[in-house]
Amino acid sequence: MTSRFSRSLQALACLSLLTAGTTLSAQTAPLVERPTRAAAQLPPGPLGYSAAHMDRTVSPRVDFYAFATGNWLNNLEIPDAETDIGGFSMLKATIKHQLLSLTLQASVSGAAKGSPEQQVGDFYRAAMNTARLDQLGLEPLKPALAAATAATTPADLARHSAQQLIDGGGPLLVAWPITDARDSTRRVLMLVAGGTQLEQNQYTDAASQRIRDLYRAYITRMMQQAGESPEQAAAHARTILAIETELSAPRLTPLQSRDPALTYNVMTVEQAQALLPTVDLGELLGQLGYKAIDRLQVTDIEGIRSLNKVLQTRSREDVQVFLRWLTLSGNARLLGQPWFGMAEDYERQRDQLVRAEPREEQVVNAIAMQLFHPLSRLYVKTYFSDATRRDVSSMVAQIRSEFEVRLRANPWLDEPTRQQALEKLQRMDIQVGYPKDSDWIDFSGVDIRPDDHLGNNQRIAAFRFRRDRDRLNQPVQPDRFSNPPYTTPVSVNAAYSPPSNSIDITAAILQPPFYTPGGDKAVNYCTIGAVIGHELTHGFDSNGRLYDAAGNVKDWWTPAANAEFGKRTQLLVEQFNQYSVLPGLVQSGRLTLTENTADLGGITLAHAALNRALKGKQTPRVDGLTTDQRCFVAWAQLWTFKARTERIRYLAANDFHALGFLRGFGPLRNLDAFHKAFGTRPGDPMWLAPAQRARIW
């Protein structure tokens, strides 16, 4: 959980999500760390492919990543308020400034009530009115804190959790509709335990002791500010951290949580109630407005059991303290000082930042999370062209066609599996930029006021909750471009959704370094073309392949094809298991397998489509580089970045993507064309023997 309840409930396979790191030698042996100095602002210079970014003093046969990115990388400095820097973060910074400009215009527009301009502008005005927020203090949250203190019975716990869920705060228990993994035409009500605010590994890892100490000190300060004595606040902080540790330990790991065989636990309300007698599920569902629920999907049974154990074995005082903490921490960033400042300072120290972002930029981030479609409407109208949408849609068709050609010729697929794969590819729905006109989510009925920041957030949360609740028993029509911060039009990303067998390619990503209108074919194919191929491949990676063409979990693989796929992907697991990301810390090839498979598929498809578009002929050299060389250098430059140590540790433990510096060269080592382009040979650090190269899609 973060400071607000995250509603990213659909399983999405994303291009970037959150990608950062320091850099590494291309060799699997000693780590070579580059400087990670902090800077006050993003550096000037071109964003996107440039031969000037290369370091030609390095041999591509020794360290391809340094060869392709070295000059740019060595001149990049991590901004004071950022955890990392690279192509993604620099593009995000550009877009944030565009969004801030749109927001400032909206805040003085005097637009009609319910219009995107009015909602965006008044949300901003309320959030920026710090004098009023400071004056209100804790007053707006006192009713919820009182309800937390009074929650003693199973019915009380249910009522408090329901209200926190509706308000977008910190609930003990989450009940939310999701697409039924075995029948994508209908939804099922998911039940999952809340209550934890650190990542699972951060409760126990020795390397995370610093974060635990910071978190405990943060709780102490907050509880003391809420009226407790220093001794009482410190004792309660120890209790809260202990409870969260108890809740976290038996839960599914990040990797396990993606496995439908582990998460598809559909049962009656009575069966779920038997797992959690300490919370009245009938009362919870009633307070949320659900009627006649005949089944629930308990995605993490042991997580529910651990919540029940805590509620059964902990004292009433401990439970009430914990509920107050969830309520306070879940809303602290929506209050004035000192609450906002304490939350901000904790997060700054946790992430090893020199300073926090300016408040206006934080508010723009919040608008992009809360009013994601109203803000996106303003963005695409101003900054996204129809020509770009047409051009990228054309490339989508080319990359899809290339994938079809390769599926038909794939030497290890048998015919039954091949035909199922072709059907899935054919039915994949790919949209570019933003939703169809009829698919924008209509926020116009949400009452956004210029003087009620907490209330604005609560009313948006309630709108989104009720909208999804009311669709529980309706035919499934998946929302598109609607999963902040991953797949809205203003997100720098592209994503595949297995339950809907669909891909969203956002408007924000369709600019350098990912796409340059009228640019070098070698660069565009091996950047945005590789992004498209990456997402297509997600439908056939070790997670996406569990779903059929209709988006249902179904085994459509023959035993022979299944075994062959496992053998080939194991090569990727073993490759990435060898890469060190920090001294004593290696990348997990198993955790990152789906994304590594998609990266390999993406650059393979892009390079093949490029060759087909050029009819197998190399274009004239540019900057001394052949067509294939520019393709592979452009791919590597896409992943240029460096990050703070804590960020690297976080990503290595929790992110399904490999660290960016590994993505810049790791997949390439599996391509014959890469070795041919740069003349690698046995004994070179970049060499990978043909028998060890993963050839999947």
Q: pLDDT tens digits for 363-396?
A: 999 999 999 999 999 999 999 999 999 999 999 9
C-alpha closest to that of 579 among 505, 504, 664:
664
List, as own/partner pairs, every contact residues 39-45 make where C-beta atoms lie below 8 angstroms and the sequence separation is at least 24, other chains included: 39/77, 39/78, 39/79, 39/80, 40/79, 40/80, 41/79, 42/79, 42/85, 42/90, 42/93, 43/75, 43/76, 43/77, 45/72, 45/75
Q: Which amino acid is at 272?
A: A
Q: What is the pLDDT of residues 583-629, one digit of tens each?
A: 999 999 999 999 999 999 999 999 999 999 999 888 999 999 999 99
Residue 247 lies in a domain: yes
* Paired sense of beta strands 173-180 and 183-193, if any: antiparallel
Mean pLDDT value of segment 94-117: 97
Q: What is the distance, to the nearest Å, from the Cα of residue 373 to the centroid of all Cα atoms in its chain?
A: 18
Dist. CA 397–CA 409, nearest whole Å: 19
Q: What is the pLDDT of residues 408-423, one digit of tens each?
A: 999 999 999 999 999 9
Dist. CA 21–CA 585, nearest whole Å: 13
Render the burial of 300-312: b for 16+ CB within 10 Å, e for the rest. bbebbbbbbebbe
State the chain's mean pLDDT as an integer.
93
Residue 297 lies in a domain: yes
Q: What is the distance, to the nearest Å, from the Cα of residue 444 to the centroid of all Cα atoms in its chain?
A: 27
C-alpha closest to that of 3 among 504, 384, 661, 461:
461
pLDDT value of residue 32: 28
Residue 175 lies in a domain: yes
Provide the whole-model pTM: 0.93
Residue 310 lies in a domain: yes
Mean pLDDT value of segment 15-30: 36
Dist. CA 74–CA 55, nearest whole Å: 10
User: Regarding predicted confidence, which is higher, 39 or 96?
Assistant: 96
Dist. CA 338–CA 118, nearest whole Å: 29
Dist. CA 259–CA 489, nearest whole Å: 28
Q: What is the pLDDT of residues 549-573, one digit of tens each?
A: 999 999 999 999 999 999 999 999 9
456: number of Cβ within 10 Å: 24
C-alpha closest to that of 103 among 128, 126, 130, 121:
121
List, as own/partner pairs, every contact residues 410-416 make where C-beta atoms lie below 8 angstroms and the sequence separation is at least 24, other chains included: 410/697, 412/561, 412/564, 412/565, 412/568, 413/561, 413/564, 414/558, 414/560, 414/561, 416/558, 416/561
Dist. CA 130–CA 334, nearest whole Å: 10
Dist. CA 256–CA 263, nearest whole Å: 8
Mean pLDDT value of segment 235-241: 98
Can you tell me whether residue 431 is helix, strand or coil? strand
Mean pLDDT value of segment 512-518: 94
Reported confidence tier of residue 16, pLDDT bands at 50, 70, 90: low
The set of residues, in sequence order, having a beta carbon less than 8 Å from that of 620 and lying 6+ positions away, is: none
The domain tally of the chain equals: 1
Mean pLDDT value of segment 357-365: 97
List, as own/partner pairs, every contact residues 106-115 make where C-beta atoms lie below 8 angstroms and the sequence separation is at least 24, other chains included: 106/378, 114/444, 114/445, 114/446, 115/444
User: How much of the chain, in percent, has pLDDT values that exceed 90?
Assistant: 92
Please say if the pLDDT value at position 42 is more than 60.
no
Residue 645 lies in a domain: no
Please say if the pLDDT value at position 655 is more than 60.
yes
pLDDT value of residue 19: 34
Please answer whether residues 248 and 262 qualify as being in contact, where contact means their C-beta atoms are separated by less than 8 angstroms.
Answer: no
Mean pLDDT value of segment 645-660: 96
Mean pLDDT value of segment 631-650: 96
Give me the domain span that covers residue 283. 152-334
Dist. CA 655–CA 588, nearest whole Å: 10
455: number of Cβ within 10 Å: 16
Please say if the pLDDT value at position 6 is more than 80.
no
Residue 624 lies in a domain: no
Residue 246 lies in a domain: yes
Residue 157 lies in a domain: yes
pLDDT value of residue 14: 61
Reported confidence tier of residue 15, pLDDT bands at 50, 70, 90: low
Residue 349 CB burial class (10 angstroms; 0-12, 13-18, ≥19): middle
pLDDT value of residue 617: 87
Cα–Cα separations (whole angstroms), residue 190 to 279, 285, 383: 16, 12, 38
Q: What is the CATH number of the domain that holds 271?
A: 1.10.1380.10
Q: Would you mind telling me the total number of residues written for the chain in this entry?
A: 697
Please answer whether residues 537 and 697 qualify as being in contact, where contact means their C-beta atoms are separated by less than 8 angstroms.
Answer: yes
Mean pLDDT value of segment 108-128: 98
Dist. CA 179–CA 189, nearest whole Å: 9
583 DSSP assignment: T
